[in-house]
Amino acid sequence: MPLNRINIIPSAYTQMKPVIAHRGASGHAPENTAAAIREAARLNAEWVEVDVTISSDNVAVVFHDSDVNRCTDGRGLVIQKTLAELKSLDAGTWYSPFNSDEKILTMTELLALANQLNLNLNIEIKPTIGRETETVWAMKQALKQVPFEHTLLLSSFNVHALYAAREFLPEYTRALNVEAIPRDWFNRLEEVGATGLHFAADFYDEAVIKDIHEAGTPMACYTVNDFETAQKMYRAGVQAVFTDYPERLILDARPVGLH
């Protein structure tokens, strides 16, 4: 039987490092912007997590919320704005007047920046409910335009997004995001074809985590901003934690000035 090329691509988790910068280094710069991604690289993070959704004209953009109210100077839903409208917004001043030049990134800009900075990516798919297929399709177009040179892990809370990823981007490892770890975690991962499980730190349960670890399923935990909690997670078998402050967890590689 011929070897299926997809089956011989190693899991993204074989390349995973213990610290993933959450929405970039979002403790230090406006989340999901180029500034936050550059800051993550400066703080020696090798992995960055960002959220991706689409504009009304089906372009994949890097943004967490369904509306632009919190993280830009605009109002309204992302899915109801064209890329040109999204690009006209200031995505930095809400965080600091020094970040007034930040714009919402397209996924192609994200990929080019991560290529340049040697960063691996966890793209969390954040579709508008009902636009899952369009979101993943737009991501596929971005990856065609700017081939990614490092490791890419896809994740989502949305199972329809994960189904679409399995269909349109099968070559990338997928993770299921949850808040609490479901009792039937194994069946849920199997159902969506996900390799990894990402859960919320508030729902840490050592016994369950040890079981999952022993079953060989990689886990990552969000959002962990202190060293002790991160160590507790690693000891229990969690492979990586998402953090807004990478320098708090990467103690052996802080840039000069942060020791």
Residues at the contact surface with ligand G3P, assessed by CB under 6 A: 22, 49, 51, 64, 124, 155, 177, 198, 222, 242
Considering beta carbons, is residue 182 or 254 the nearer one to ligand G3P? 182
Draw the binding track, 47-66, toward Mg ion (x: CB under 5 A; -: no contact). ----x---------------
Which does residue 232 bind out of Mg ion, ligand G3P, none, counting CB within 5 to 8 angstroms by kind?
none
User: Shortest approach of Mg ion to residue 50 CB, angstroms?
Assistant: 7
**x/- contact string, 118-137, with Mg ion (CB under 5 A)?**
------x-------------
39 or 124: whose CB is closer to Mg ion? 124
Which partner from the list ligand G3P, Mg ion, none does 222 bind, CB cut-off 5 to 8 Å by kind? ligand G3P
CB of 257 to Mg ion, least distance (A): 28
**Shortest Å, Cβ 51 to Mg ion:** 4
Based on the shown chain and the rule CB under 5 A, indicate whether residue 39 belongs to the binding site for Mg ion: no
**In angstroms, what is the minimal distance from the CB of 243 to ligand G3P?**
11
Which of 50, 250 has the CB closer to ligand G3P?
A: 50
Cα 182 → chain centroid = 21
* Residue 58, phi-psi category: left (phi > 0), alpha (psi -120 to 50), beta (remainder): left
CB 222, min distance to ligand G3P, A: 4
- Residue 177 vs 217, nearer CB to Mg ion: 177
